Amino acid sequence: MTHLVVVNHEKQYSIWPADREPPAGWDPTGVTGDRQACLDHIERTWTDMRPHREP
- Of 10, 5, 15, whose CA–CA distance to 51 is shortest? 10
Helix, strand, coil percentages, rounded to 5, for the chain: 20, 35, 45
Note the pLDDT tens digit of each residue in 2-51: 999 999 998 999 999 999 999 999 999 999 999 999 999 999 999 877 76
Q: What is the pLDDT of residue 55?
A: 60
Domains of the chain listed by start with CATH number: 3-45 (3.90.820.10)
User: 38: how many CB neighbours lie within 10 A of its CB?
Assistant: 23
Q: Buried (b) or exposed (e) across 2-26, using 16+ Cβ within 10 A?
A: ebbbbbbeeeebbbbeeeeebeeeb
DSSP state of 40: H
